[in-house]
Chain A
């Protein structure tokens, strides 16, 4: 990741951008759609007004989210905030009750996981979704086997080994059933799954939750590489260190609603925590205080800037990120 890589969504997001959210309105309003962002490369994936309820439980209410090519968006929020539900809407597991999904150029309806796969949306689910009776190779290639009428077992096994090797997988053999693997080994298999095929967007729902130190580092490296290859990445995580290590922007969900969109390099841990837990009045004061004391990236014209205005994009924020990664 270099400073030259554009960070099209919300470079330098700061207090005024977040104000509407903090007062209970969503940031990504429709007005912001034809903003200058369009010229700087429109988002690869854009969600507008997504709502989803399970009976009486409103898991998602009017949620917006954008991901551009070459951007890593971290999706954070408390337990039950609706992160996994949003991931499942994107990957075709659940159908949204309302709202639109835009992919590439047009609006799409992701009616099933197979459709998501065809579009190029690959997902690692929090509940991993592997078949325990099948072995590692069979799981990796499930649904996209090579040579369906006479399986090319050799090619699949070679590819699987290479892929798992890249991820530093500690797996005894690719021919053992997944049932015999540990939680972290399974997670690595699930991540490797997404890299097969030719995805444009990769969604990782708590990808590092069960991983060891080395494997976590590999996954974070992998996310960096995916960004460099121009893929859009959505990463759900509770680990703020991981989020700040790789994300470009951080989208906060709270009780199924957008609750702020931060530039990862700028936002402090307390900003995020406040947005996650909902201490909204605190975040305002804290941010204001921080901006005053630091006085670095807070440029005076910030209040007039449209959400996602790319103009000052490669300023301090991007430079800062370059160091971080």
Chain B
């Protein structure tokens, strides 16, 4: 990254098909593109990774229990519900919209699940399905109001925030709280089920192997087509790093209860969404709609369908988060999805590097963002600081993240790239 990026390189010079010079030249072009992107204000996941390290170091210094296996095991599980909601928030932010009602929807979903499962005695899968269908219909409804009437999503979902909180209170009725039985699969999944160590290690190895395999296949294909490709050294290094990092994490967590199934489920969702966003035409159209809606429309993208999918994904993931949150608590009550759930989910997405201005972000933003938020929360709780401090610190971090987003955006403008 030491080379300054020049505006024109001879890579696409005029004339008949020319073989673009040598390998190292192309690798250099690639490095230049990366360097130019960074300086241009396209920071990706770097700030949040740095922030996470800082927070962990500070918290560990303040309280040595913070980095203990027991606390980290807990932290991982605690992160999942809000993290999954944040995953949905990433979807709407990517298309340049917002959903302020994810908290209410997660609470409503928990309430619907509890009423159907406990009060009505329906099987769990049916109650979960009903809850998911209801949430996806809410997203569809938001999209219709937005697409047909043109109400800004900010206002629609602000209405949803209040309205669906009302529905939640209404269906919970006067007693206001429904306990989920401890012996139900849902509660077990969210609280008690951990991967056996051999399976956890196997998954780590498989993950590293898949990372190498897909990377090598891609590189080979690119090389065959005469394009710049990642070197074998880079691929091996990357997957060894993943192997070592995840292996160490699993080993450390296994000193306590281990890796929760719920956390694995969250990781799987992150990976699926990452694939959809980066490797499918639907994902590209989401970025396009968030980047320049009119350009996307003129390119033939069905903008309304993309927006609808984004809203539906968001509310559906909010529902999944709400159900897992209730399962973890073994109860759905009037405060399910209330308090700071809503803003934590949105903050997680933004802290992770998803732009509030649309068109920038990734699935990993939700994962890293929620780890930041839960780390702050867990660390302050360990210090016996109550929610007053938690709110203040989280608010400060959010402000920092949004400022970073705005500064990055201004830097893009000043580099003539926004």
Contact = CB atoms under 8 A, between A and B. Distances in A.
B12 interface: yes
A174 B415 CA distance: 18
B285 to A, nearest CB: 7
A117 B17 contact: no
Contacts of B255: none
Contacts of B30: 173, 175
A148 B281 contact: yes
B323 to A, nearest CB: 28
A172 interface: yes
Given A132-B292, A165-B17, A172-B29, A179 B416 contact: yes
Interface string B1-38: 00001111101111101100000000001101100110
Interface stretch (B97-105, B157-165, B299-307): B299-307
Interface in A122-169: 123, 125, 128-134, 138, 141-145, 148-151, 153-155, 157-158, 161-162, 164-165, 168-169
Nearest to A113: B298
Interface stretch (B184-192, B205-213, B220-228, B263-271): B220-228
Contact of A179 (B9, B12, B418): B418
A91 to B, nearest CB: 7
A132 B409 CA distance: 12
B359 interface: yes
A168 to B, nearest CB: 4
Contacts of A128: 295
A132 B417 contact: yes
Contacts, number: 149
B279 interface: yes
Nearest to A140: B299
Nearest to A162: B17
B284 interface: yes
Nearest to B278: A151
A179 to B, nearest CB: 3
Given A131-B288, A133-B290, A175 B33 contact: yes
B281 to A, nearest CB: 4
B412 A134 contact: no
Size bracket of the B interface: 35 or more
B252 interface: no
Which one of B12, B30, B294, B295 has the highest number of Cβ atoms from chain A below 10 Å of its Cβ?
B12
B226 to A, nearest CB: 7
Nearest to B360: A133
A216 B308 CA distance: 41
B130 interface: no
A170 B15 CA distance: 11
Residues of A contacting B: mostly: loop
B99 to A, nearest CB: 21
A75 B9 CA distance: 35
A297 interface: no
Contact of B284 (A91, A142, A155, A214): A142
A319 to B, nearest CB: 31
B300 A144 contact: yes
A8 to B, nearest CB: 30
A125 B298 contact: yes
Contact of B12 (A112, A155, A170, A218): A170
A67 to B, nearest CB: 20
Given A172-B5, A218-B14, A177 B294 contact: no
B360 to A, nearest CB: 6
Contacts of A177: 37, 42, 417
Nearest to A131: B291
Given A142-B285, A150-B280, A172 B291 contact: no
B280 A149 contact: yes
A227 B42 CA distance: 42
B12 A171 contact: yes
A164 B9 CA distance: 14
A93 interface: yes
Interface in A252-289: none
A170 B12 CA distance: 6
Contact of B18 (A114, A154, A165): A165
A228 B358 CA distance: 43
B81 interface: no
A80 B285 CA distance: 32
A218 B15 CA distance: 10
B32 A134 contact: no
Given A131-B287, A151-B279, A172-B7, A142 B301 contact: yes
| Nearest 3 A/B pairs, CB to CB | A179-B417, A168-B14, A133-B291
Interface of A: 91, 93, 112-114, 116-117, 123, 125, 128-134, 138, 141-145, 148-151, 153-155, 157-158, 161-162, 164-165, 168-177, 179-180, 182, 193, 214, 218
